[in-house]
Amino acid sequence: MRKPKKLINEPLNVAQEQFEGLLSVMSGKLEALPGITAAIRTDLPSDKVAILTGGGAGHEPLFAGYVGHGLADAAALGDIFAAPPPNVILQTTEAVNNGKGVIYIYGNYAGDNMNFDIAAELADDDDIKTHTIRVWDDVASAPLEKITERRGTAGDVYVLKIAGAASLSYSFEDVVKVTERARDNTRSIGVALSAGSVPQTNTFNFELPDDELEIGMGLHGEPGVAREKMSSADEVVTKLIDQLCDDLPYQKGDEVCLLVNNLGSSTYMELLIASRKAHALLAERGISVHHTLVGNYCTSQEMSGYSLTMLKLDEEIKSLYDLPCDSFALRN
């Protein structure tokens, strides 16, 4: 049986070592909180609502890669594909709180939900005001009538962008309001060609025959909506766009941001071919693309494939999206 091949050190240390590597390249803009795996801005403002994100390692550059000006203010991190423990979330909450409240933004997974909820209760005991925004953008993971059961995937990027921008000047309640609207106007779906792996076990998360692909595969290997024979990029992207547009729905006259996200080991050649078709299909529908991101934004180790995410814009969300940001993974 084929085994994953990674150039690493001790497998049990990969999450900590990649975190230390991120800190080393950030020129002092991020620092680790003592004793825990959590990143916080060194230039943290004292006069704004705080944005705290977090989740398991293995999805780099998510989550700590989006800590910076105009994005998240801190990230609480877990091990590979594992939620951060409640004590890590709570300590990060205490560190980032400046009296104006802390908004939690993270992907909708059972472990993350439980641990962030525990931290929120403990923070409330310390008189720290919090609010939770769970991202549930993955259209393949549950029907629309059960949207709150959907997984969070690359849509986290857009939700963090809007929240971070709004937090620069909005009140706590207004940050929540516009961020939840952005979350509810964000949809994603992906296609997997091969599995990612967990370094500690040195095994792939699932098996996918060489002549098959899976539509809607989750970031940890959760089942998608269809397993099919390999086909052309245009055929696959057409299916993805159809599912995205039918779900919100996105309609003629809408303006969107488009994210073509590498799940781990796909090439820019593949991503740009997908971008070409996605733009053409949206134009046929009368949907204009305000801005496109292409690259590694939310990965699953070396999973081969990509996801498409769209954020439907209104004037307020568009103006927030266009504000500057500066982090390891996203700058404008």
Residues tagged active-site: 59, 220
332 vs 218: CA distance, rounded Å: 29
- For residue 45, CA distances in Å to 40, 49, 68, 167, 168 come to 11, 9, 11, 11, 9
- For residue 247, CA distances in Å to 144, 156, 188, 261, 279 come to 7, 18, 10, 19, 18
CB–CB of 307/196 below 8 Å?
A: no
Q: By C-alpha distance, which of 153, 171, 161 is closest to 107?
A: 153
Both tokens of 273, joined, read 């071919």
What's the one-letter identity of residue 103? I
First to last CA, the chain: 44
Burial class (CB in 10 A: 0-12, 13-18, 19+), 141: buried
CB–CB of 60/82 below 8 Å?
A: no
**Residues recorded for the chain:** 332
